[in-house]
Homo-oligomer: A and B are copies of this chain.
Amino acid sequence: MNKSGKIRRVRVKLGCRSYWIHIGSLQKTSVELGKLISGRGVLLITDANVEKTGVVEDVLEDLSGASDLGLIVLKPGERTKTLGAVEDITGFAARHNYDRKSCFVALSGGVGGDLTGFAAGIYKRGVEFVQIPTTLLAMVDSSVGGKTGADLPEGKNLVGLFHQPAGVFIDPEFLRTLPACEWRNGLAEVIKYGIIRDGEFFEFLWANRKRLNRRGADADLLGAVIERCVTIKAEVVAADECESGLRAILNYGHTFGHALEQLSGFKLAHGSAVAIGMVLAGRLACDLGIFDRESADRVEALLKAVGLPVSVPAGYAASDIIEAMKGDKKNEGGRIRLVLPESLGRVRITSEVSEEKLFEFLNRQV
């Protein structure tokens, strides 16, 4: 990866809550990071996996303009994403007298980023925070848009709030050390953006599928891919910050996906679950006559080409999947809400698919 590569910047337009996403070497964007935190109390939150890569020291250096600088290292993994962890973070801040002008910084994948944003959103009723995502999934998805949260024993992301970051700093260099599974988790979301909003981007990904089928693709390609993804996400979020309409399209593949993840006891990786979910949504849309079979096949082929699964693993019952889907927090009035493709680059949101139809369809997929 070329450290002298270009810096790309995307603006998330949300009025007084607008912010910049900086894509490029942190060595080059640290000036902007320094401006955001200058003279303020800063609490850096990372996890043990990120710490092992040795980047924490560099980032602490970038944050040296803070009036006070603390570090919390979380246990990695979804199990850490609890209200208990939020209590730990905010308790640490309280014991060290962080005031309302403080800034929390997440140097982390999605779990740490969500927790940091949540803790920042409720500490003294809200302080600012900055995202420095370390995984592809966090770079293209969770670090942008202000969704923060934690899990409950009852399910994922059941508590949280919308709290926009003050800035996002994406350094693709971090992806060099990313495990293959984490890389694929991110690619599932990357492909999602093409299907829901940008047919041309889908074609671009298809044309570059071989270069994407490994971690550490070259800096130019990665920079371009990440820029396109966060630009789409920024557009969608700007149009519908609090998910009252359009924003739900980002959930394409996730209604089926979350159900499969949950039924697997979270052994199925998020990206794999979403990939299978996108395939299922495509096939269902074909069944309903709103999506053509050729496009559905191309979705499957692209996901396969980058190493993602495209069918429901053995042992899942249609009725269990439906039961799990009913718990989705996007449902309203007891009806399951689905995001279904109409073409490559366009989806619709519907609550019109009956449970009977869904059961009949899923029974053929398991």
Please give the residue numbers on chain A whose beta carbons come within 8 Å of chain B beta carbons, in ascending order. 83-84, 86-87, 90-91, 94-95, 97, 99-101, 118, 121-126, 147, 149, 152-155, 158-162, 242-243, 326-327, 329-334
Nearest Cβ on chain B to A306's Cβ, whole angstroms: 31
**Chain B residues positioned under 8 Å from A83 (CB to CB):** 83-84, 86-87
- B332–A101 contact, CB under 8 A? yes
Given contacts A99-B334, A100-B329, 10 further A-B pairs with CB under 8 A are: A87-B152, A90-B152, A94-B155, A95-B154, A97-B327, A99-B329, A101-B333, A122-B160, A125-B161, A125-B242
**Chain B residues positioned under 8 Å from A121 (CB to CB):** 161
Nearest Cβ on chain B to A324's Cβ, whole angstroms: 12
Query: Can you list 9 A-B pairs, Cβ within 8 angstroms, ordered by A?
Result: A83-B87, A90-B158, A91-B153, A91-B154, A94-B155, A97-B326, A99-B329, A124-B159, A124-B329
**Chain B residues positioned under 8 Å from A125 (CB to CB):** 147, 149, 159-162, 242-243, 329
Contact status of A94 and B154, CB under 8 A, knowing A83-B86, A125-B160: yes
Nearest Cβ on chain B to A327's Cβ, whole angstroms: 7
Contact status of A90 and B159, CB under 8 A, knowing A97-B326, A329-B100, A333-B99: yes
A101 to B331, CA, bound (A): 9
**Chain B residues positioned under 8 Å from A334 (CB to CB):** 97, 99
A126 to B242, CA, bound (A): 10
**Chain B residues positioned under 8 Å from A153 (CB to CB):** 91
**Chain B residues positioned under 8 Å from A84 (CB to CB):** 83
Contact status of A123 and B159, CB under 8 A, knowing A97-B327, A101-B332: yes
Contact status of A94 and B332, CB under 8 A, knowing A123-B159, A161-B161: no
**Chain B residues positioned under 8 Å from A118 (CB to CB):** 122
Nearest 6 Cβ contacts at the A-B interface: A94-B154, A124-B329, A122-B159, A83-B87, A125-B160, A94-B158
**Chain B residues positioned under 8 Å from A95 (CB to CB):** 154
**Chain B residues positioned under 8 Å from A91 (CB to CB):** 152-154
A246 to B339, CA, bound (A): 45
A146 nearest CB neighbor, chain B only: B125
Nearest Cβ on chain B to A357's Cβ, whole angstroms: 21
